[in-house]
Amino acid sequence: MSSTQMSKTADVSGETCTLHTDGIPPDTLIKVQRYLERFHLTREKLQEVSERLRKDLIRGLGKHSHHKAPVKMLPTFVRATPDGTEKGDFLALDLGGTNFRVLHVRVMEEQQRVLKMDSQICAIPKEMMQGTGEQLFDHIAACLYDFLLSHNLERETLPLGFTFSFPCEQKEIDKSILIRWTKGFNCSGVEGEDVVKLLKEAIRRRGDYDIGSVAMVNDTVGTMMSCGFRDQSCEIGMIIGTGTNACYMEEMKNVKRVEGEAGRMCINTEWGGFGDDGSLRDIQTEFDVVVDEMSINPGVHTFEKMISGMYLGEIVRLLLVRLTEDGLLFGGRTSKALLTPEAFETKFISEIEEQDNGLENTQKVLSKFGLKWDTVDSCVVRLVCDAISSRSARLCGAALATLANRIRVNRRQERLKTTVGVDGTVYKKHPNFSEELRATVRLLAPKCDITFLVSEDGSGKGAAMVTAVMVHNYCLLFIAELMNEYVLFRQQ
């Protein structure tokens, strides 16, 4: 483990932390640290955050309290994780950003494998993201037809798993109402509507193909289900990429918004909204406030804006601008590029924090921004990136520990063993993020033994997996009903 990583773990534990600060003069370091200390969260503060989220989970599950809960805790109507016996061919749609994917997936019971037979990426023009809902779904239906045609599937009527990575209130497995758009989308006529119905109507308008049963899937659920086919102990799904969210298997008796108390149901937490009621105001910095105010949806998704890839780069940029204006970077001279909102991409943070080539990468990024830098500037920029990414990992770890602790307490287990299915570029690409997140979870959930399983094409394959489980369970239910009828017939 590097000295930087060792110091991070110590900081999470609440002990004195000496960051990797080689190359920065002491007087400059003291001034820079005054800004960075706002991003350093002690163990006690992380425990406070975890406890606040725990209370919000309960509010979101309540029959009468969920309406005002910032963490929505949406029922998904997914009642079981895979058991390894599912099989068949399925289609999957994955919509969650400026591109969406169409996949043909085959689930094979014999080898317990989910194979992506074919896939196709379709772009969504920016103007369409701000246009009408009818235009958007007509575009999706057209791309789906092109995929079916190119793979000789247009005459098939295959079940479809639909990953729709936006906050929705799910009424049934095939009925899901969009609560609000996020991630730059603002299509009219969709919020408050059933997105499955809108998709089916778009396909019906075409009239040249059809689809079978539809299972509506959030991307976190898809991640959990795709990993669950490989590891049946996977009961948590987490995304930390452009946005962030998590789901987990909750006891039905605690899901007051849905009838029935037997068994479990997967809950889509929508934890990105954590803090929308002001509960995270004490750890928000002035830079977080600016990011929120300048976003397309100010006042919502507070937690997401503090930790996810869509916003981390902008937080770093704002901090670099402030340090430059205060004469602590680049000789007090900014550049047009650095002053351009959203110009500092989150991928630059990952490149800058690489252990082997980080300093060289830092200098390439700074040159790309037209800045006149020296070695001290490079070291300070690395320190800034470390502070912002570390806070993200620790906050994410604190939230994940909350879910693991809840599952353990729900089941009255002295020790919980479970698996978390993970997806997202921040987790996968950042050189230190996953290790720091895991260290935080171990610290805040000491009675939980957690395995992390990185999803392979989770949203797409997971949507197919949810559909496979649904079809499989319907078949079992149908067979059971036939057997009951047969028994009654023999008794007459």
CB 421 within 8 A of CB 236: yes
How many Cβ atoms sit within 10 Å of the Cβ of residue 65?
A: 14
Q: Kindly report the length of the chain.
A: 492
User: Which of 219, 288, 292, 377 is an active site residue?
Assistant: 219
Query: Of these residues, 72, 183, 200, 461, which one is catalytic?
Result: 183
Query: For residues 122 and 98, what is the distance between their CA atoms, to the nearest angstrom?
Result: 9
Pairing verdict, β 160-164 and 214-217: parallel
3-state secondary structure of 304: helix
The C-alpha torsion from 453 through 459 and 462 to 463, rounded to 10°, is: 170
Q: Tokens for 237, please give them.
A: 């799904």
Task: Indicate the Cα dihedral angle 275, 425, 298, 182, nearest 10°.
Answer: -110
**Is position 447 annotated as part of the catalytic site?**
no
DSSP per-residue letters across 97-151: SSEEEEEEEEEETTTTEEEEEEEEEEE--HHHHTSBHHHHHHHHHHHHHHHHHHT
C-alpha span between 30 and 75 (Å, rounded): 48
CA-CA distance, 265 to 374, in Å (whole number)? 55
Instruction: Identify whether 183 is a catalytic site residue.
Output: yes
Catalytic site positions: 183, 219
